[in-house]
Each structure stands twice: as structure tokens, then as C-alpha cells.
């Protein structure tokens, strides 16, 4: 089975949401994982907005990039400029895509305003992932 790897800075929000959707939308096409350049822990707001859409990512963990999985990946998708700039060199057979998404963890304002940003980014990710199938 082909492998897909979603990468962002801290593997706490964007890549976790992408992994959650991909495990549903692409389950028969890809083995799916996500990771970060660093680990920042799973963001509770990411868990919350994904649950609103019927996807449970609460058991996922924030992970560092696994060089072996990266090397074996058929498709690597970076979800922020930091991951794109700092991503290790990919093998010849690995295709890469960049999705320039805002970092919802940086949202300012009330809890309601922050959740609105998480929902917006979630919806963008859902659209992108659905087009991979």
C-alpha cells in the first residue's frame, strides 16, 4: 500500500487534522501518518473541531519525523512554510505537495474566535484531503 506523510512544525494541529481525514477518505489507498519538525503535543482545539465533524483524533500523538517512514513515503504533504523549508531531503520516488495553511494555534482573541480559526483551517484541510482521493 502507498504511504502518505503529512508534515507541519509541531504535529499538533494541521497535520493531525489531515491525518484524521486521510484515514477516513483514503483508507483503501494509503497508509497514513503525520509528524512534525518538533513535537508540541496534540492541540485540544484540533481534537474538538474534528469531533464536531465526526472524526476522533484524540488518540493520535504528536510525533517527530520518522526518517524511515519519510524515505518510504510515496507522497509527502507539508502544511506550513516551516515544514516545507526544514523538511529533510526526499527520495527520488517521493512526490511532494505544499498546502500553505494558517496556523490555528496562533489564533488570537476569545475562545470562540480561536475555535472559528480552527474550524476554517479544518474545512480547508478537509477539502484538500478529499481531492487526493
The residues annotated with a catalytic role in the active site are 8, 80, 87
CB 47 within 8 A of CB 57: yes
Lateral strand order in the sheet of 30-36 = 30-36, 2-8, 75-78, 95-98
Per-residue CA distances from 110 to 12, 48, 105, 113 (Å): 20, 16, 13, 5
Per-residue CA distances from 72 to 82, 91, 92 (Å): 22, 8, 10
Q: CA end-to-end span of the chain, whole Å?
A: 14
Looking at residue 64, what DSSP letter applies? B
Amino acid at each position: 500500500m502507498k504511504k502518505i506523510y503529512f508534515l507541519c512544525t509541531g504535529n499538533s494541529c494541521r497535520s493531525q487534522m489531515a491525518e484524521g481525514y486521510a484515514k477516513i477518505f483514503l483508507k483503501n489507498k494509503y497508509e497514513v501518518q503525520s509528524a512534525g519538525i518538533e513535537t508540541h503535543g496534540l492541540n485540544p482545539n484540533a481534537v474538538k473541531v474534528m469531533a464536531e465533524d465526526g472524526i476522533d483524533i484524540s488518540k493520535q500523538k504528536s510525533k517527530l519525523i520518522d526518517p524511515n517512514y519519510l524515505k518510504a513515503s510515496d507522497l509527502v504533504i507539508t502544511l506550513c512554510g516551516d515544514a516545507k523549508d526544514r523538511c529533510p531531503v526526499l527520495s527520488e520516488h517521493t512526490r511532494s505537495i505544499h498546502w500553505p495553511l494558517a496556523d490555528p494555534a496562533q489564533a488570537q482573541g476569545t475562545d470562540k474566535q480561536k475555535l472559528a480559526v480552527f474550524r476554517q483551517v479544518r474545512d480547508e484541510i478537509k477539502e484538500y484531503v478529499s481531492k487526493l482521493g
